[in-house]
Amino acid sequence: MYKLMIVEDEPLIRMGLKHYFNWQELEVHSIYEAENGKDGFITALREQPDLVITDIRMPEMDGLQMIEKIRLALPDTLFIILTGFNDFEYAQKAIRIGGVHAFLLKPLEYEESLSTIQECMNNLKQKRHELQNRSNLEKEIKDNWTLKGSQLVKVLLEEENAVVEEDTIVELCEFRSNAYLYLPFVLTWLPRLEAHPQSRKWIRQHADSFINEAAESVFPAHIPRQIFTYRYKSKLYGITVLDAQEINSKDIDIEEQVQKQIENTLKTVGLEHHTSLYLVIGTTTTDLSDLNKLLHYTDKALYQRFYQSERCLLLGSQLGDTSGSTKAPLIQLDENDKKRIIACLESGDEHETKQLMQRLAQDMLSKIAYSSPEKWLAFLQEIISVIIRFANKNGIHIEGVYSEKLLNLTFVDDFPTLAALFDWLGRWMVHLGIVYTEGLTQNHQQDVIIFEHIESFIKQNIDQDVTLQMVADRFFYNPSYLSRLFKRKLDKNYMRFVTEIRIKYAQECLKKPEYLVTDVCSMCGYKSYKHFVKTFGSITGMTPTDYRKQSGW
């Protein structure tokens, strides 16, 4: 059961919300009220609600200020913003705050509002389930050295100014030394569109082996070392701990022959598995307090792949200054380019948009080698801001044209080259342009195209649990909006859409005698054979074995 808090300065609206939905059926057993953000904050600290529905504009403390304060004390609480103001600046700020699940516009539409609430409750259930799993995992970590090392890297990566005691290193390392040397690294893999799902799985399973092989190439065999890794999405973060007494110099000087060897390995494996692999070997330190900063610096160094397209191996010792030197040229979007972006959005012309984005990519590429990541990321942000301001100005439903991943620029991590990145931005602009010229309520070809792209993405990852959030991130959609789009355009929910794709893929695989039925089960992303057979039967009316026999195999 869950707790709900309603924060609204109008008593009638608060009362209406309490009786608008059947909260008991939604598993909400306690409802608390507050008439402004200040009272809401005090009530939240006392009652610790799981879900908060709040207005934005209120006296004493507005909704966004309240959310910021509550988030610090209750990071797992989710928020739904209730507002009559379709204001992009507020929406953007709310997304940055985090924890905002969706927006409900006054006056409420029952079916749409209920769907949003249900999605939020499912999100809460998933969070609670994840918290329980995390609790179980933390218990296992106490008895598992590998997981302890992974947790160490995770803390360094996620917690600003994280402090690690040397006793922790001594405890985790299999060797003892009076002085330790630390070397951070990051490996990322970016599957290409034609990549088979099994290739992605293979890369994830063998990512650690790349690091071990690289370490064996770089360091003499007699030097004691320990490697700790942490995997997050398509990246493997790690720290190599070395016996500093065995290293003659503070910096690791990787011989050119070794660099070529590692580079060739990355390229060969990448070609074999239709994946772009990039490895950054950072700079060393003997000071544990520097490790947090160096790990993040190493992560940023991955961006150099955008202007060193021939390189798969990047070295921290060869990276340029990213401190934001005033000598670095400023990358700006001039007024003419802003006008061209608007013109492309207004016309929805795919050819003109593609040409413009290609030129902007080249402009950025010509300056990127002399600028810090912060400066060219700011340039990207400026482009995106122009586009979203256009959407807001023209009354386009904001949540249908962007996602949090787009606003915080983490989508940059999904592309191997600037050309690919700007190509996708161009396609996003074309989509928005069609929304502008034809409207979301019309049955235009773009709706068909987006579902085709989603289907292709699911097929490429068919052996994985491809969630609605993953799809929303990949295609720059708000997940709540995308969920409604499935219902409105296809008359089915997202899970049904995925299931039909999985079973269709299973039917194709069952026609190939080299695959066992149990192989097909895992290839289609089902962990339980019993569940696979049941689902297959519900779609086709027969078992996988019977289907194979009927197909003549």
pLDDT digit string, tens, across residues 6-57: 999 999 999 999 989 999 999 999 999 999 999 999 999 999 999 999 988 8
Q: In what order do the strands lie in the sheet with 275-281?
A: 225-232, 235-243, 180-191, 275-281, 313-315
Q: Which amino acid is at 459?
A: K
Q: Which residues, listed in sequence order, are joined to residue 239 by a DSSP beta bridge?
A: 184, 228
How many angstroms separate the CA atoms of 548 and 541, rounded?
13
pLDDT, mean over the chain: 84
- More confident of the two residues 244 and 327: 244
Residues 6 or more apart whose Cβ sits within 8 Å of residue 177? 224, 243, 244, 245
Alpha helices in 369-439 (DSSP H): 373-393, 404-407, 418-438
The stretch 138-162 carries a mean pLDDT of 78
The stretch 290-296 carries a mean pLDDT of 91
The stretch 140-146 carries a mean pLDDT of 64
Domain ranges of the chain: 2-138, 144-318, 341-496
For the cut 80, the answer to whether the pLDDT of residue 176 exceeds it is yes
Q: Which amino acid is at 273?
A: H
Confidence tier at 322 by pLDDT (50, 70, 90): very low
pLDDT digit string, tens, across residues 469-519: 888 877 777 788 888 889 888 999 999 999 999 999 999 999 988 899 999
Domain 2-138: give its CATH superfamily.
Response regulator (3.40.50.2300)
Tell me the DSSP string of 196-257: -HHHHHHHHHHHHHHHHHHHHHHS-TTS-EEEEEEEETTEEEEEEEEEGGG-SSSS----HH
Which CATH number among 3.30.70, 1.10.3470, 1.10.10, 3.90.1570 corresponds to the domain 144-318? 3.30.70
Report which secondary-structure segment, H or E, holds 507. helix 494-510
76 with 127: CB under 8 angstroms?
Answer: yes
285 with 300: CB under 8 angstroms?
Answer: no
Q: Where are the beta strands (DSSP E) in 84-224?
A: 100-105, 180-191
Enter the pTM of the model.
0.61
**pLDDT for residue 274:** 82
**pLDDT for residue 386:** 93
pLDDT digit string, tens, across residues 60-117: 898 888 998 998 899 889 999 887 766 656 656 666 666 688 888 778 888 889 998 9
DSSP 2: E
**How many residues are given for the chain?**
553
Which is nearest to 79 in space by CA: 88, 92, 89, 68?
68
For the cut 50, the answer to whether the pLDDT of residue 441 exceeds it is no
- Lowest-pLDDT choice from 264-268, 442-446, 497-501: 442-446
